[in-house]
Structure 1
Amino acid sequence: MTGYQCPICTTALVLQPTGKYYSCQQQHHFDIAKEGYLNLLPVQHKASLEPGDNKQMMLARREFLEAGHYAKMAQAVAKTITSNLPNTHTLHCLDLGCGEGYYSRTIAGLIGEQIPLVLHGVDIAKFAIAAAAKKQTTARFVVASANRLPYSDQYFDLVLRVFAPSNAQELNRILKPLGYLLTVTPGPRHLWQLKEFIYADVREHALEPVLAEGFVHLSTERLQYHINPNPAQRRALLQMTPFAWRANLNAQQALQAPEELAIEVDFCISLSQKM
């Protein structure tokens, strides 16, 4: 079973003998891109021509993440998986809103052979998925919306959601009974010093509720530390946050001016289980 379902009629998608495309019993067919990913976002489900992050935003995200600034968070996520999930059988894992695949690659490397994973990644941004597929040929990447996930019912053992939107009904549908949801959300002081360049009055926000309907909470870890991105990496960090829309030219220039700038990062890592 491929685990894919047709985004048009929701019947199962089957890889055809040529190995170049998938099709369903209604003869809807979807080609595998040269980079190895599958585009399961039909034009009628798009809100714009190229939804999601554009190429510039994707490159900014890659530049910042591959500098290792969020590596401690990725390590904590990997530890949560190895400490709580069974290692007796292969786990099907979906990286929801995976972007260019940094967390999929990093976590797969950290877990190693402790837990055998079949990794999937989904994002609405085609540029990001193409980049992810090039970097990690052993994973299965798909262009699709979090509100219309093109996967079979009860296919996944684990869904990873790092700073990504989700749909509780879809999460319940694609996860197996007693499947796990591992969520990373910003803590109250996340990127505090960056926000000081943009907002006149910076306040701690309340912890975001992360428990999706139909799930029971298992654990929460708050991880805080400082990063020291250089001016170019600060520019990339700004581009990958919602704050970019509020940062005028003066704020952007001021943010890049200091040679060194310590910025707080604050993550809440929560594990829950489907009831």
Structure 2
Amino acid sequence: MLTCPLCTAPLHNAANGVQCPAGHRFDRARQGYLNLLPVQHKNSRAPGDNQAMVEARRGFLDQGHYAPVARRLAELAAERQPANWLDIGCGEGYYTAQLAQALPRSTGYALDISREAVKRACRRAPQVTWLVASMARIPLPVGSCQLLTSVFSPLHWQEAQRLLSPGGGLLRVGPTRDHLLELRQRLYDEVREYTDDKHLALVPPGMALAHSETLTFKLKLIDPGSRAQLLAMTPHGWRASAERRAAVVDHPGPFGVTVSMRYDYFVAH
């Protein structure tokens, strides 16, 4: 079902990779993923999250701190039971693997622009087709997916709409204004306010919000390593001063922080 990122023609299996009728060929990495991000589509030499950010996120998530977020995502996806689904901006695959478990009879795809992330994600769910690709040029045909997911990831709304079959939906998960509030209060003199639903203004005609809910819970980060990982996997790890970051990591006793996520489900008409 994959399409060529250069000419949009169908891709077919070739020796250790895929190829389109025009002769554009893409190799499969030894880890199992396909790199469908041509060099002319890159904005930098190594786009997306680097190895340090990916490893920090993997270490933090594997400790189960965000397990309720993944569990609710999987529950909402299981209610849809799509034939084909795609996780956009899959990162190192923590949430994608939960989706694959919840949708065993569906065909799953996942992509991220970071090769370092996808390289590690492959190990989580080999039944998923893992892709290094751009979310602005997703190598799948028009109307080929019944479910798209986007967790903590930017979205190209028109591209998402192109991929959805009529009646299919996009499940978006993103932070609310309360997410990591205590952490932000420790890192900055002034905590920047933002609107939880500002993304609704970007939804294109032909897609409508069908469901919305918020999940909020408290984390108690006991060891300094978990706090350092949380900092490293967020923009706060480089926006805040080194002194403020060190104060969070070396905080005496448990460090309590709020996790607050908004789940929005948009249906294509």
Give the TM-score, by structure 2 length. 0.94
> Does 2:224 match 1:231?
yes
Q: Look up the equivalent residue of 1:34 and give its one-letter code.
A: R
Residue of structure 1 aligned with 2:143, choices 151, 154, 168:
154
Aligned to 2:122, the other structure's residue is in SS state helix
Partner of 1:251: 244
Corresponding residue number in structure 2 for 1:202: 191
Q: Counterparts of 1:238 and 1:208 in 2: how far apart (Å)?
A: 25
Aligned-partner residue type, residue 181 of structure 1: L
Structure 1 CA distance, aligned partners of 2:46 and 2:22?
26
Instruction: Provide the secondary structure at the position in 1 that maps to 2:54.
Output: helix
Pairing of 1:26-65 with structure 2 (within 5 A): 26-65=22-61
Q: Cα 1:177–1:15, aligned 2, differ >3 Å: closer, same or farther?
A: same
1:119 counterpart residue number: 108
Q: Which amino acid aligns with 2:198?
A: P
* Mapped contact 1:185–1:208 kept (Cα < 8 A): no
Instruction: Tell me by how many angstroms 1:204 deviates.
Output: 4.3
SS at match of 1:127: helix
For 1:146, give the aligned amino acid: M
Instruction: Name the structure 2 match of 1:139.
Output: 128
Cα deviation, 1:200-246, whole Å, max 9, x if unaligned, reads 12254221334421311111111110112231111111111122221
Which amino acid in 2 is paired with 1:35? Q
How far apart are residue 112 of structure 1 and its match? Answer: 5.8
Q: For residues 137-187 of structure 1, what are the alpha-carbon distances to aligned partners after superposition, in whole Å with 9 as ceiling and x for unaligned?
A: 111100011111111111111000001111111111111111110000111
* Partner SS for 1:22: strand
Taking the aligned partners of 2:51 and 2:78, their CA distance within structure 1 comes to 34
Aligned ranges 1:6-21 → 2 under 5 Å: 6-16=4-14, 18=15, 20-21=16-17
8 Å Cα contact 1:31/1:39 also seen in 2:
yes
Rounded Cα–Cα distance in structure 2 between residues aligned with 1:247 and 1:223 = 26
In structure 1, the residue matched to 2:266 is 272
- 1:95 maps to amino acid: D
Q: Hey, what's the Cα distance between the residues in 2 that align with 1:82 and 1:39?
A: 28
- 1:193 paired residue number: 182
Structure 1 residue identity aligned to 2:224:
P
CA–CA distance in 2 between the matches of 1:52 and 1:112?
A: 27
2:88 to 72, 96, 102: 96
Q: Distance in 2 between matches of 1:82 and 1:181?
A: 13
Asked whether the 8 Å contact 2:100–2:128 carries over to 1, the reply is: no
Indicate the SS of the match to 2:143.
coil
Task: Give me the whole-angstrom Cα distance separating, in 2, the residues matched to 1:11 and 1:203.
Answer: 45
Provide the aligned length of Structure 1 versus Structure 2: 264
How far the C-alpha of 1:135 sits from its partner, in A, is 2.5
* CA-atom RMSD in angstroms: 1.4
From 193, 215, 218, give the equivalent of 2:207. Answer: 215
CA distance in 1, matches of 2:227, 2:123: 26
Letter in 1 for 2:210: L
Q: Measure, in 2, the Cα distance between the counterparts of 1:195 and 1:91.
A: 40
Aligned to 1:260: 254
Deviation at 1:249, TM superposition (A): 1.1
Aligned identity (percent) is 36
Q: Per-residue deviation at 1:91?
A: 2.1
